Amino acid sequence: MKYIEEFQNPQLAQRLLDDIHATVTRPWALMEVCGGQTHSIIRHGIDQLLPEHVELIHGPGCPVCVTPLEVIDKALEIASRPEVVFCSFGDMLRVPGTGRDLFRVKSEGGDVRVVYSPLDALRIAQQNPERQVVFFGIGFETTAPPNAMTVYQARRLGIRNFSLLVSHVRVPPAIEALMLSPDCRVQGFLAAGHVCSVMGTDEYPELAERFAVPIVVTGFEPLDILEGVRRTVRQLERGEHRVENAYPRAVRPEGNPAAKAMLEDVFEVTDRAWRGIGVIPDSGWRLSERYREYDAEHRFTVGGITTEEPAACRSGEVLQGLLKPHECEAFGTLCTPRNPLGATMVSNEGACAAYYLYRRLGGATAPKETSPVA
Ligand code: SF4
């Protein structure tokens, strides 16, 4: 498949690996921000092919994983109401709230539906004017524009029985929060290419300068990741800290102006809680005053929520790169994808799920190898 297979070429991967091995003279710790990159790294064994002292730390870039427990519990409460059709992408249905998940609500009679686009939810609202249709709008700068556009369309078409339960988050404030943490070991970032395809790269030079860290915009295929690592360690070895774009086939410096304009119209920046991390100032979006009537939290009064995280789950440390998933005592025993304790074991982009899928049978602590990926 064009633009995928050529970015998995083993010979080219070996050349990039040779270059990385020839460049690195000291230990370096790099963080890949996005959960999609984490899965690619673990699936292809990229971390095991790098020089011994180059560590890839998995970042908090899994949208499902960072959605706060309180928001999940609100979703469960709203979805349980008889007048509500609750629509969501499928990966949210198994995310554990306090004591249950959306699948449980559905099995108890709640009208919970999996959709493939927020516009599907808007169509359901059009077809069922007597019901209240709620779409669960979570995620980073990548999923926020279509959700913003759906609310814009609802307003334009006068569809008043539609609302959005919003938990959108932004990457740059999370990088800032990680760098300000006293426990932070990160020396360079592989920034999330798809986020930058929407937002561009303007938000990153200030962070690179302030924290003296290279930030390299990186894609998702093995060659993309290796090129991101190659450019990051090259900067580190030279004592540089710039923003570089290693994903030019998708990312322009200015991003996607139409998507950014839609975000600016429909949302406003707000503080957001990140599951396992806490509140990060200015790290999210909520619906702006003009669109507030489409805010599910505004439309439905949801009170009396008391959240409780499973004591055994250490996903907060996993999300901050302080713990590798297989170092959690519950990994693969008390906690599996069928019986997840934390969202990082549920989501397609969760680090715990990646280790369970690709490393469970003894690979997690395997020594680094020298053969190429793919
Ligand atoms: S393995 Fe399970 S219990 Fe442990 S941190 Fe990951 S999600 Fe939480």
Which one, of 88, 36, 87, 86, lies nearest residue 61 by Cα? Answer: 36
**Under the phi-then-psi rule, with left for phi > 0, alpha for psi from -120 to 50, and beta for the rest, what region is 141?**
alpha
Q: Which residue carries 């995928």 as its tokens?
A: 4
Asked if 349 contacts 38 with a C-beta cutoff of 8 angstroms, the reply is: yes
**What's the CA gap between 226 and 231, in Å, rounded?**
9
100 CA to centre of ligand 1 in angstroms = 17
Residue 319, pLDDT > 50, answer yes
Task: For residue 352, give the ligand 1 atom closest to its CA.
Answer: 6
Ligand 1 pocket list (CB less than 6 A): 312-315, 318, 325, 328, 330-331, 335, 340-342, 344-345, 352
Q: Residue 175 is encoded by which pair of tokens? A: 């990088």
For a ligand 1 pocket test, name from 344, 355, 356, 360 the mutation site with the most ligand atoms within 8 angstroms of its C-beta. Answer: 344
pLDDT digits (tens, 9 = 90+) for 351-368: 999 999 998 765 444 434
DSSP 372: P
Q: Which residue has the tokens 């008043």?
A: 160
Interior CA angle at 292 toward 141 and 61, to 5°?
A: 20
* SS3 of residue 29 by DSSP: strand
CA–centroid distance, residue 352 to ligand 1 (Å): 6
User: Domain 5-61+181-245 maps to which CATH number in 3.40.50.720, 3.30.70.260, 3.40.190.10, 3.40.50.11750?
Assistant: 3.40.50.11750
Q: Could you state, in order of their start, the residue ranges of all structural domains in the chain?
A: 5-61+181-245, 65-170+255-299, 315-359
Confidence of residue 307 (pLDDT cuts 50, 70, 90): confident
Question: 351 CA to middle of ligand 1, Å?
Answer: 9
What is the rounded CA–CA span in Å between residue 332 and residue 328?
9
Average pLDDT over residues 40-65: 94
Protein residue with its CA nearest to atom 3 in ligand 1: 313
> What is the Å distance from ligand 1's center to 342 Cα?
5
CA of 88 to the centre of ligand 1 (A): 23
pLDDT above 70 coverage of the chain, percent? 96
pLDDT of residue 365: 41
User: Torsion angle, CA of 186/352/312/175, rounded to 10 degrees?
Assistant: 30
Same fold? 5-61+181-245, 65-170+255-299? yes
Model-level pTM? 0.91
65-170+255-299: in CATH 1.10.238.10: no
Q: Give the Å distances, CA to CA, from 65 to 41, 73, 178, 267.
A: 18, 14, 16, 22
- Dihedral of the alpha carbons of 68, 72, 77, 79, in degrees to the nearest 10: 140
Q: Which of 322, 326, 345 to mutate to test the pocket of ligand 1 (most atoms within 8 A of CB)?
A: 345
197 closest CA partner among 279, 266, 151, 140: 140
Q: Is the pLDDT of residue 305 over 80?
A: no
> Looking at ligand 1, which atom is closest to the CA of residue 355?
1
How distant, in Å, are the alpha carbons of 205, 229, 235, 277, 325 from that of 238?
Answer: 18, 14, 5, 33, 32
Instruction: Tell me, in angstroms, the distance from the centre of ligand 1 to residue 330's CA.
Output: 6
pLDDT in tens, 156-183: 999 999 999 999 999 999 999 999 999 9
What residue owns the CA closest to ligand 1's atom 8? 313
**pLDDT score of 99:** 84
